[in-house]
């Protein structure tokens, strides 16, 4: 599990967190991000076309890793599995999700914001976490502090991260990558400005290349 998540997260400095309003946008948007150099994408289950978007991206964007995000329940986790997702991301955790994730063939990156949530995940064998909402939950300072009691845990922080503060996180040894919605601004998506989105991806990929 940990190795699987490492192979996904370590190839991504930055994971675009994407909400798809129009399913036709999924493939061109994904292609722009991949061509820009970001090939790990998280599609949030915040819209009704999200699962269809994941299916289309899996089919068309070979070589990219496509995850489902905003997974709140084991039922949604199962839907992500059926859509072909490579990984599952949750904003927070429940015992039910932790248990389900251990059995699932698709690895889960559970969302935590506190040491207690981290400890619960730790008991179930999880070693890789999303730190959410990162900026509101103490930012890079909090992740730095987690390294004291639980040195083996690694994080993908998201929530309030942009090109300007990503580096504060990425320079920490227990941060694998960062995630955020800044790579797919609503106005650009509405205008189908895929070249603009590719440029944002390129900027992030070049700046944060390992």
Q: Within 120-139, which residues bind ligand 3PG (CB under 6 A)?
A: 132
The backbone region for 63, taken as left when phi is positive above 0, alpha when psi lies in -120 to 50, beta otherwise, is left
**In whole angstroms, how close is the CB of 53 to ligand 3PG at the nearest point?**
16
Among 39, 79, 181, 184, the residue binding ligand 3PG under the rule CB under 6 A is 181
Whether residue 59 contacts residue 85, with contact meaning beta carbons closer than 8 Å, is answered with: no
Distance CA 144, CA 107 (A): 25
Binding status of residue 160 toward ligand 3PG by CB under 6 A: yes
Q: Cis link prior to 133 (omega < 30° from 0)?
A: yes
Binding segment toward ligand 3PG, per CB under 6 A, in 29-37, 96-104, 140-148, 158-166: 158-166
Among 159, 166, 198, 201, the residue binding ligand 3PG under the rule CB under 6 A is 159
Is 144 a known active-site residue? no
Contact residues toward ligand 3PG (CB under 6 A) are: 17, 44, 69, 91, 132, 158-161, 179-182
Question: Mind telling me the catalytic residues?
Answer: 42, 130
């Amino acid at each position: 599990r940990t190795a699987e998540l490492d192979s996904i997260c370590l190839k991504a400095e930055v994971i675009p967190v994407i909400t798809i309003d129009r399913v036709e946008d999924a493939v061109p948007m994904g292609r722009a991000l991949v061509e820009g150099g970001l090939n790990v994408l998280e599609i949030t289950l915040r819209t009704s076309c999200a699962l269809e978007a994941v299916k289309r991206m899996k089919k068309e964007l070979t070589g990219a890793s496509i995850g489902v995000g905003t997974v709140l329940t084991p039922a949604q986790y199962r839907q992500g599995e059926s859509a072909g997702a490579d990984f599952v991301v949750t904003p927070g955790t429940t015992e039910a999700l932790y248990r389900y994730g251990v059995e699932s063939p698709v690895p889960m990156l559970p969302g935590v914001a506190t040491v207690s949530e981290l400890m619960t995940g730790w008991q179930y064998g999880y070693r890789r976490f999303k730190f959410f909402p990162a900026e509101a939950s103490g930012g890079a300072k909090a992740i730095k502090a987690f390294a004291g009691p639980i040195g083996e845990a690694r994080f993908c922080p998201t929530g309030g991260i942009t090109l300007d503060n990503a580096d504060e996180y990425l320079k920490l040894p227990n941060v694998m990558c960062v995630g955020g919605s800044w790579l797919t601004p609503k106005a650009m998506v509405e205008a189908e400005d895929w070249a603009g989105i590719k440029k944002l991806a390129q900027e992030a990929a070049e700046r944060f290349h390992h």
